[in-house]
A and B are shown apart, each in its own frame.
Chain A
Amino acid sequence: MSIGLNGLLVASAALLAVGAFAVVARRNAVTTLLGTQFMFAAGAIAFVAFGRFTVLGQTGAAGHENVAGVMALFVGAVAVGELAVGLAMAALIYREHRSFAVDADRE
């Protein structure tokens, strides 16, 4: 029994698919935001997996040590920033329409 790059990339792809489903199929602004967060997390997992199982993760490999972890850190930070703005917009939608539906202004 073992786990390598492939297993983690499959999990990352599954998480990305869940996030894409939430963004495309759900009308709730909060759920859509959660979907984008899952897509960010999927990207970060892929970064970390490549860092762990390729030469990027080797210390001293052309000065690229820890590069994947650093990228995952930045991806997480950007995701939190995006979440803050998105939640403010969701609050705006709710206060205007008393609903989190992203197409509430069409009604």
Chain B
Amino acid sequence: MPLIGALQEPITSAPLVLFIYLVLILTIAAALASVLLRNTLYAIGAFSATLALVALLYLTIAPFLLFAVQLLVFTTVSAALMIGLLRETVGIKESAVGPFSREWIIGAAVAAVLLALVVVVAAVTSWPIRVGPQGVLCCPSFLSAVTDGYRVALAIVVVLIGSAALGSGLMLASLRQVAIRTPGRRG
């Protein structure tokens, strides 16, 4: 079965194409910011923004369920893990920037523009039904593909994630016990 030889038609809907290009550029920019920023908290914020932008990209070209999982599970879990690490180690200081400062207003404006763009593109292209020659590809078929066709893989992923959660939890718990036994060393 040829994979590359049967390329489907590219996306040509102007608002959708513009939106995808914008999301791609913002994704790369946020990833670069995350890598280059010295402040760990800001880097984590940029990282979460990158994952959210990847979710927006999924909204345009992937099944809707993948977008939902990426945005609601992967992004939130990753951000929560990162923030948890900061709280356990260096701590999180209260922000010196007030809630109505210029930075917040600019950020809110950018978020509002992006949201408006999502709404416009959603209205034009009738999401979550995918635009394309092959027709509709939405949640039910994707969910059944995961649960019916990939049971073993799904079980392996569950075991992997469970082991990771257990292992990291035990590691952190053992660290706490060491910290209690030797308080002077931990400051």
Q: Which residues of A contact B (CB under 8 A)?
A: 1-5, 7-8, 11, 14-15, 18-19, 21-22, 26, 28, 30-31, 34-35, 37-38, 41, 44-45, 48-59, 61-63, 65-70, 72-74, 76-85, 87-92, 94-95, 98, 100
Contacts and interface: CB of A to CB of B under 8 A. Distances in A.
Nearest to B135: A59
Given A3-B17, A22-B35, 8 more contacts: A11-B28, A30-B43, A50-B3, A53-B10, A54-B6, A55-B1, A65-B141, A69-B142
Given A1-B17, A52-B62, A76 B85 contact: no
Interface string B50-70: 110010011001110110011
A26 B145 contact: no
A21 B1 contact: no
Q: Is the interface of B mostly helix, strand, loop or mixed?
A: helix
Contacts of B65: 69
Main secondary structure of the interface of A (DSSP, over half): helix
Interface string B12-37: 10100110110010011001101100
| Number of chain B interface residues as a range | 35 or more
28 contacts: A5-B7, A8-B24, A15-B28, A26-B35, A30-B40, A31-B34, A37-B78, A41-B54, A53-B8, A53-B10, A54-B6, A59-B137, A66-B142, A68-B62, A69-B65, A73-B69, A76-B74, A77-B157, A80-B74, A80-B161, A83-B81, A84-B161, A84-B164, A88-B168, A91-B171, A92-B171, A95-B178, A100-B40
Contacts of A68: 62
Interface in B91-139: 132, 134-135, 137
B164 A81 contact: yes
A7 B179 CA distance: 50
B5 to A, nearest CB: 8
B165 to A, nearest CB: 6
A37 B30 CA distance: 13
B89 A91 contact: yes
B146 interface: yes
A9 B58 CA distance: 14
A48 to B, nearest CB: 5
Nearest to A58: B134
A70 B165 contact: no
A74 B153 contact: yes
- Of the listed residues B62, B63, B137, the one surrounded by the most CB atoms of chain A closer than 10 A to its CB is B62
Contacts of A100: 40, 89
